[in-house]
């Protein structure tokens, strides 16, 4: 009878080791947070685009967890499934140096999953009732895509036989020429493990002093004979695969070279194929690349086939390995979606225990036929239990002794009979000898059969032999224990559900906060867009203002240059028209009026109002103004005191009009040149009126030198505004009125 098939997901556990001494010395910080109750792993990263990564698994174990916590919390139920006839697989996956081998094997003081599984198996067998078990084990490794038998003794001729992967008639994977050993106890298993570990390929890298350089697979086949509900004997076969995978490596971190580099390359290739198989199974691809690697070929039943599977993902907490940690968690997270279809393997044709039981039945039938009473009905029906067998063997021993005693008694009676002649006695003695020889022959044959039976029985393990009432009582006790386990599991599930509810509430609250933040972000984005638009407008305005300022600057520079040219021309004309000793006293006493924005010169006579120019007036207006100011034309001359040397060299100051030749030879030539140049420049208007001259006082100015000519500053001494009629003097202004000769 075979249980109905149903899908079951691969269970994934994550175990995080503590920081190593090297990592602590190097100053690396832990970036992994383990939440056992919520079964969550949180990884903090420095990169803003990644932030925190949160993963949820079937079980998580932090650095404070023990080997017992891992086994009792998640592994024990899978070993029970193997004892019930399921195929079960446990494999450790992760980066090199994260504790995979420690999790699977442990140490003598702190055993791992493999020795604890063996302890559970043999404890179950010891406590079983009316059941027989046959436990076989094999141990092999995959080193650089080659299979090695770790239990085969070195130097034997068997080493010449190459082990290889085959497929049986039922489509199941097996390894040809792989040695198997029957296990009798946990101690026997430990010795086998020690031998296998000595033959396993290990090496040292910068990340792990004892790094596994191969994938190791320890397989335990458990065959059980039990009475079914139909009262017949049935056999179920469970298989437990315990896989310690080699760790993924980065050459830059392990600094592997030579042979170690080749090993790392093969390890990474096989693990990459394992990742492809996981992805194909999750995506339900039509082709799953099991055949691309020997590792995936051997794990074919465990991934997507007839098996209950647990993946133990081992990670490190250090910030130095955060990328490898995230990669392991991504693989583990995808593996949760793989679906298997496990079922109990019951009454298989190739069960070794079935062969042993059939052979035992045949041997016991022969033994029964040799017995004196010939009671063989129960044996032939195949319903003889172990207690009946022991009783039958005791009866056979008693029958042999009774037959021998009867034969001896008959011989003694024959010898005591005096009525027999010698020939009859010899004949009877020969008959007695033949009977005795036949009896001894049957006894020898029976002993040989019993030796064979004992040899076969020694290969099988069995529990207690009890009566039906005791068996029912034990079953009730087992049911109570199972119920307690179910209650405990329900309690844990309730805790998990409560934790999930809290998490959902937290998520809802966070979602609400996120919604508010998103709304605020939208408002902020709108404000930011508006401010950016205003900023862009301001930038454009600034650019326009800068362009205008540059244009104004250029214009001002040109105006300053023109004013400087005009000032230079005016001073040149003053130097030619007026001697220095005449205008220097005027400039020393000149005063500027900010209110009127003009200069006033000192004078000893009363100043008169100068008539305006009549350039832009109409003819009638011109005529009127000319008549009005005609009487003042010759009076609007500023009298300047002139110092003159007399014959004796004494200076004499005269008031009124005075004329003289001021260095005629020099001034006339220079004046002629200046006037000639001025007359040829249409844009330059010569205005030598002293009222329009703006000049800073200077002491030591020389009329014959232009190196000390004064410049005018429009900021310090602004030029007084002039009316349009003051652009150039009237032609009727006198060319000489005491100033020019």
- Judge whether residue 726 has pLDDT over 50: no
Region 180-184: mean pLDDT is 86
Burial label, 97 (beta-carbon count in 10 A; 0-12, 13-18, 19+)? buried
**Complete DSSP assignment for 262-325:** HHHHHHHHHHHHHHHHHHHHHTT-S---GGG-HHHHHTTTTTTSS-EEEEEEEE--BGGGHHHH
pLDDT tens-place string over residues 189-217 = 888 888 888 888 776 665 655 667 789 99
Q: What is the pLDDT of residue 27?
A: 87
Instruction: List, in order, residues 6 or more apart from 562 with CB less than 8 Å away.
Output: none
Helix (H) or strand (E) run with residue 148 in it = strand 146-149
Q: What is the pLDDT of residue 305?
A: 83
Whether 101 contacts 244, CB under 8 Å: yes
| 96 labelled binding-site residue | yes
Average pLDDT, the chain: 74
Burial label, 377 (beta-carbon count in 10 A; 0-12, 13-18, 19+)? exposed
pLDDT tens-place string over residues 5-62 = 678 889 999 999 999 888 888 888 899 999 988 889 999 887 645 568 899 999 999 9
Helix (H) or strand (E) run with residue 643 in it = strand 642-645
pLDDT tens-place string over residues 608-633 = 555 555 566 777 877 777 777 765 55
Question: CA-to-CA distance for 484 and 490, rounded, in angstroms?
Answer: 10
Q: In angstroms, how far is CA 187 from the centroid of its own chain? A: 43
Q: Which two tokens stand for residue 735?
A: 């060319």
| C-alpha closest to that of 12 among 303, 262, 288 | 303
Region 374-380: mean pLDDT is 38
- Judge whether residue 696 has pLDDT over 50: no
Question: CA-to-CA distance for 601 and 592, rounded, in angstroms?
Answer: 9
Phi/psi at 172 (nearest 5 deg)? Answer: -85, 150
Whether 708 contacts 700, CB under 8 Å: yes
Question: CA-to-CA distance for 108 and 116, rounded, in angstroms?
Answer: 11
- Judge whether residue 641 has pLDDT over 60: no
Region 722-738: mean pLDDT is 40
Region 259-281: mean pLDDT is 84
Q: What is the pLDDT of residue 472?
A: 65
Question: CA-to-CA distance for 691 and 599, rounded, in angstroms?
Answer: 7
Q: What is the pLDDT of residue 480?
A: 78
pLDDT tens-place string over residues 99-138 = 898 999 988 889 999 999 999 998 888 888 778 888 899 9
Region 174-189: mean pLDDT is 87
- Of residues 221 and 648, more confidence is placed in 221
- Of residues 152 and 647, more confidence is placed in 152
| 97 labelled binding-site residue | yes
Q: What is the pLDDT of residue 236?
A: 87
- Biggest distance spanned by C-alpha atoms of the chain: 219
Question: CA-to-CA distance for 70 and 49, rounded, in angstroms?
Answer: 34
- Quickly state the pLDDT bin for 333 (edges 50, 70, 90): very high
Looking at residue 663, the DSSP 8-state letter turns out to be S
Q: Which two tokens stand for residue 99?
A: 């504790």
| 553 labelled binding-site residue | no
pLDDT tens-place string over residues 424-469 = 777 777 777 777 777 677 777 767 667 666 666 666 566 555 455 6
Q: Is the dihedral of CA 174, 178, 182, 186 positive or negative?
A: negative
- Judge whether residue 274 has pLDDT over 50: yes
Question: CA-to-CA distance for 684 and 678, rounded, in angstroms?
Answer: 7
Tell how strand 40-44 and strand 598-600 pair up: unpaired
Whether 570 contacts 688, CB under 8 Å: yes
CA distances from 103 to 17, 100, 124, 177, 321 (A): 10, 5, 23, 29, 19
**Complete DSSP assignment for 699-716:** SS--TT-STT-----TTT
Helix (H) or strand (E) run with residue 236 in it = strand 233-244
Q: What is the pLDDT of residue 699?
A: 40
| 603 labelled binding-site residue | no
**Complete DSSP assignment for 158-208:** GGGSPPEEEE-TTS-EEEET---EE--SHHHHHHHHHHHHHHS-EE--SS-
Other Cβ atoms within 10 Å of 726 Cβ, number: 18
| 395 labelled binding-site residue | no
- Judge whether residue 594 has pLDDT over 80: yes
Q: What is the pLDDT of residue 498?
A: 82
Question: CA-to-CA distance for 175 and 186, rounded, in angstroms?
Answer: 24
| C-alpha closest to that of 443 among 342, 495, 378, 372 | 372
Q: What is the pLDDT of residue 34?
A: 92
Question: CA-to-CA distance for 529 and 533, rounded, in angstroms?
Answer: 6
pLDDT tens-place string over residues 382-400 = 344 444 444 455 555 566 5
- Of residues 293 and 441, more confidence is placed in 293
Helix (H) or strand (E) run with residue 494 in it = helix 468-577
Intra-chain end-to-end CA distance of the chain, in Å:
149
- Judge whether residue 218 has pLDDT over 90: yes
| C-alpha closest to that of 88 among 221, 241, 237 | 241
Q: What is the pLDDT of residue 379?
A: 36
Instruction: List, in order, residues 6 or more apart from 716 with CB less than 8 Å away.
Output: 696
Q: Is the dihedral of CA 62, 68, 69, 74 positive or negative?
A: positive
Q: What is the pLDDT of residue 254?
A: 61
Question: CA-to-CA distance for 534 and 453, rounded, in angstroms?
Answer: 101
Reduced to 3 states (helix: H, G, I; strand: E, B; else coil), residue 728 is coil
Whether 403 contacts 373, CB under 8 Å: no
Other Cβ atoms within 10 Å of 26 Cβ, number: 11
Looking at residue 717, the DSSP 8-state letter turns out to be S
> pTM of this prediction?
0.55
Question: CA-to-CA distance for 576 and 565, rounded, in angstroms?
Answer: 17
Other Cβ atoms within 10 Å of 289 Cβ, number: 15
- Within 13 Å and on the Cβ side, how many CA atoms surround 49? 0
| 98 labelled binding-site residue | yes
């Amino acid at each position: 009878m075979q249980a109905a098939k149903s899908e079951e997901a691969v269970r994934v556990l994550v175990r995080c080791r503590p920081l190593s001494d090297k990592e602590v010395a190097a100053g690396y910080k832990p970036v992994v947070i383990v939440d056992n109750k919520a079964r969550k792993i949180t990884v903090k990263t420095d990169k803003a685009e990644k932030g925190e990564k949160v993963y949820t698994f079937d079980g998580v174990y932090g650095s404070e967890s023990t080997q017992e916590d891992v086994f009792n919390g998640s592994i024990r139920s899978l070993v029970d499934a193997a004892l019930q006839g399921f195929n079960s697989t446990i494999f450790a996956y992760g980066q090199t140096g994260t504790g995979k081998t420690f999790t699977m094997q442990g140490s003598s003081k702190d055993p791992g999953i493999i020795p604890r599984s063996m302890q559970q198996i043999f404890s179950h067998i010891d406590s079983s009732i009316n059941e027989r078990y046959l436990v076989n084990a094999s141990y092999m490794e995959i080193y650089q895509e080659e299979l090695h038998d770790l239990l085969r003794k070195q130097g034997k001729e068997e080493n010449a036989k190459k082990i290889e992967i085959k497929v049986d008639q039922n489509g199941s994977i097996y390894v040809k020429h792989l040695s198997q050993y029957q296990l009798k106890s946990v101690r026997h298993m430990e010795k086998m493990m020690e031998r296998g570990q000595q033959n396993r390929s290990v090496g040292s890298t910068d990340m792990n002093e004892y790094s596994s350089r191969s994938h190791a697979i320890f397989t335990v086949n458990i065959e059980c004979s039990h009475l079914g509900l139909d009262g017949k004997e049935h056999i179920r076969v469970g298989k437990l695969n315990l896989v310690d995978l080699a760790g993924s490596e980065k050459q830059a971190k392990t600094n592997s070279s030579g042979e170690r580099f080749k090993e790392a390359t093969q390890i990474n290739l096989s693990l990459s194929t394992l990742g492809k198989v996981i992805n194909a199974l999750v995506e339900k691809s039509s082709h799953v690349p099991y055949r691309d690697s020997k590792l995936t070929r051997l794990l074919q039943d465990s991934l997507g086939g007839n098996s209950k599977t647990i993946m133990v993902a081992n990670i490190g907490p250090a910030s130095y390995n955060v990328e490898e940690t995230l990669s392991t968690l991504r693989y583990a997270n995808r593996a949760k979606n793989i679906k298997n279809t496990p079922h109990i393997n019951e009454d298989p044709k190739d069960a070794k225990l079935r062969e042993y039981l059939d052979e035992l039945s045949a041997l016991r039938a022969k033994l029964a036929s040799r017995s004196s009473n010939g009671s063989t009905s129960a044996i032939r029906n195949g319903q003889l239990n172990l207690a009946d067998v022991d009783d039958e063997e005791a009866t056979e021993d008693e029958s042999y002794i009774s037959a021998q005693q009867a034969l001896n008694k008959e011989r003694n009676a024959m010898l005591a009979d005096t009525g027999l002649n010698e020939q009859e006695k010899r004949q009877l003695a020969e008959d007695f000898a033949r009977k005795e020889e036949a009896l001894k022959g049957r006894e020898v044959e029976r002993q040989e059969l019993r030796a064979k039976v004992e040899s076969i029985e020694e290969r099988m393990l069995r529990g207690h032999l009890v009566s039906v009432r005791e068996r029912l009582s034990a079953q009730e006790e087992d049911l109570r224990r199972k119920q307690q386990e179910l209650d405990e599991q329900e309690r844990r599930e309730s805790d998990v559900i409560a934790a999930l509810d809290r998490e959902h509430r937290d998520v809802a609250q966070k979602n609400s906060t996120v919604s508010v933040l998103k709304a605020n972000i939208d408002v902020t984005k709108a404000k930011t867009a508006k401010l950016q638009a205003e900023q862009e407008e301001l930038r454009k305005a600034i650019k326009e203002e800068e362009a205008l300022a540059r244009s104004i600057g250029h214009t001002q520079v040109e105006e300053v240059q023109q004013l400087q040219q005009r000032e230079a021309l005016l001073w040149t004309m003053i130097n030619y028209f007026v001697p220095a000793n005449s205008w220097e006293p005027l400039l020393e006493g000149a005063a500027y009026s900010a209110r009127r924005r003009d200069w006033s010169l000192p004078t000893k006579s009363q100043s008169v109002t100068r008539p305006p120019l009549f350039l832009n007036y109409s003819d009638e207006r011109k005529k009127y103004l000319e008549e009005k100011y005609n009487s003042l034309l010759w009076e609007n001359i500023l009298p300047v005191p002139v110092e003159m040397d007399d014959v004796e060299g004494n200076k004499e100051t005269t008031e009124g009009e005075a004329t003289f030749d001021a260095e005629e030879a020099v001034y006339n030539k220079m004046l002629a040149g200046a006037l000639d140049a001025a007359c040829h420049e249409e844009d330059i208007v010569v205005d030598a009126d002293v009222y329009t001259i703006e000049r800073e006082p200077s002491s030591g100015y020389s009329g014959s030198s232009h190196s000390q000519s004064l410049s005018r500053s429009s900021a310090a001494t602004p030029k007084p505004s002039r009316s349009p009629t003051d652009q150039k003097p009237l032609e009727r202004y006198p060319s000489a009125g005491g100033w020019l000769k």
